[in-house]
Structure 1
Amino acid sequence: MRSFRYYEFLMVGMVVVLLCSNLIGPAKVCTVTLPLIGAASFGAGNLFFPISYLFDDVITEVYGYARARRVAWAGFSALVFATVMTQFIVHVPASPTEPYNATLQPALEVVFGGTWRIVAASMFAYLCGDFVNSFVLAKMKVYTEGRWLWTRTVGSTVCGQAVDSLLFYPIAFAGIWTNQALFAVIAFNWTFKVGVEVLSTPLVYWVVARLKRAEGVDTFDRHTNFTPFSLRDEGETRKYGYRVPPGSP
């Protein structure tokens, strides 16, 4: 696999966002009052989860679907490990001689003691939505010959976030919430996440342009095997602009 200057940093950034959104965010439900809509409730993690899609868009656009696929599996593996670790810490017996455990243990159970149904739904929905996002973006890039970046960043997010929301909420809460509540939450969260992508379009343009110049590449997935179950490095990498000399800003 070809070595890049910034690929690993983007991978780490996306994994960190995923971990924080899925471990810290779900512990708190927020309510805001919006004009014309009224009160809207959502998990705090939804405020930051869309950032992972920005990372995914940038990685797929610059480095290609195959390298974005590696990042997706890295994020999924990190979520699995973090989930196992938190469940172990929550369920390992607390020391009865430590007085602070009397308040710490219940707090840990509230924050990290989510049901396996919700945890499984979160990881499965993330993996499916992320792959759909990368697939749509990569295919649209080939179809448009690399033009109109905004159409594929927004279009891929529309599809990826729809898959994520349509999988997560029914799997996690069907039979617990009413169908009306499920539909309302899915619609609100999908609209919010797509809105974040639209508002972030100028930033995505700037980051993508800088990365393509710095790395000297522009990847097109013309002959890529789009199976999710591979870690092969594929894609037609074109030279883009110029490579920034070492030590340059």
Structure 2
Amino acid sequence: MQSTEHGQSGLRSAGLALLDDRAVRLFVGLAAFFCVNAVLAEFIGVKIFALEDTLGIRPLEWNLFGQSGSLNFTAGTLLWPIVFIMTDTVNEYYGKRGVRLISWLAAGLIAYGFVFAFVAIHLAPASWWVTVVAEEGVPDYQAAFAAVFGQGLWTIWGSLIAFIVGQLIDVHVFHRIRRATGERHAWLRATGSTAVSQLVDSFVVLYIAFVIGPQHWPTSLFLAVGTLNYGYKMLAAIALIPLLYLARAGIHRYLGRARADALRLRAAAG
């Protein structure tokens, strides 16, 4: 009996010691922040916003592949650049295994969120709740709720598949560039991996959701919207390069230079 108690006490101590490890706590924090941004990007992505109106400038009439219009993006694009930074930061210190773990975890949480969104939509609404915001211009709260959270299955599958494929490509390209450049040029492996992965991601999600999906977009529209989305993501990724270096500096300060360098070497070695 005493031996069992000592064994349980030892396991508890080991568990607490593990949580006291700054590298473990850092990974948990990065993973949590990555996942919440990925899930939020999927859910707020149902809103399309006009960039020019948001900035208070005249519409920029683009013309690509025979299509023209103003710059409209999903609200999810506000968060995806943060997801890129988190991916590259985890890649830098925890390697391929770390990125794959948080990517599959995020995909599972996104799917979990959509399942319960559909469950919530099909719950019978309270009669008073349906008209509770009628004076604010929403005569049917249930219809509005279903429209916002009930994204089509083609869009959901397109987003999930594009997310996973993009993440797996990102981690592969990141380490290919790292092997070629060594520990120099962190911005190059971060931006280069994003450039390749988001080229795939930007077009895969549109192809699944809107080309083979029920809307059957023409090729010209598919190419035009995909190109605009990719261009926006790349501009955002480049603009956020300073944030990547700030994150590295913060991690080095938190872990200590020796521990941070040891993690980076292990990550580079796979």
Q: Taking structure 2 as the reference length, what is the TM-score of the superposition?
A: 0.76
CA distance in 2, matches of 1:124, 1:81: 15
Match of 2:178 among 124, 135, 141: 141
CA distance in 1, matches of 2:253, 2:199: 32
CA distance in 2, matches of 1:122, 1:153: 22
Unaligned stretches of 5+ residues in structure 1: 224-234, 236-249
Match of 1:69 in 2: 100
Alignment CA distance shift 1:105-1:35 (3 Å): closer
Does residue 183 (structure 1) correspond to residue 223 (structure 2)? The answer is yes
Does residue 10 (structure 1) correspond to residue 50 (structure 2)? The answer is no
CA distance in 1, matches of 2:130, 2:228: 43
Relative to total residues, which structure has the larger helix share, 1 or 2? 2
- Paired residues in the alignment total 223
CA distance in 1, matches of 2:74, 2:130: 32
When Rg is computed on C-alpha atoms for both structures, the one with the higher figure is 2
Unaligned stretches of 5+ residues in structure 2: 1-17, 53-58, 63-68, 133-138
Q: How does 1:54-93 map to 2 (within 5 A)?
A: 54-93=85-124
Match of 1:32 in 2: 51
SS of match in other structure, 2:124: coil
Shift of 1:35: 4.6
SS of match in other structure, 2:183: coil
Match of 1:169 in 2: 206
The one-letter amino acid of 2:240's match is S
The one-letter amino acid of 1:111's match is V
CA RMSD of aligned residues (A): 2.1
Shift of 1:100: 3.9
Q: Taking structure 1 as the reference length, what is the TM-score of the superposition?
A: 0.82
After the TM superposition, which of the residue ranges 138-147 and 197-206 deviates more from structure 2? 138-147
Shift of 1:46: 1.4
CA distance in 2, matches of 1:14, 1:139: 23
Alignment CA distance shift 1:93-1:141 (3 Å): same
Q: How does 1:208-219 map to 2 (within 5 A)?
A: 208-215=248-255, 216-218=259-261, 219=264
Shift of 1:136: 1.2
Match of 2:239 in 1: 199
SS of match in other structure, 2:151: coil
Q: How does 1:47-58 map to 2 (within 5 A)?
A: 47-58=78-89
Query: For the Cα contact (< 8 Å) 2:158–2:204, is it kept in 1?
Result: yes
Identity of aligned residues (%): 25
Shift of 1:40: 1.6
Query: For the Cα contact (< 8 Å) 1:121–1:172, is it kept in 2?
Result: yes
Shift of 1:139: 2.5
Query: For the Cα contact (< 8 Å) 2:173–2:192, is it kept in 1?
Result: yes
The one-letter amino acid of 2:158's match is A
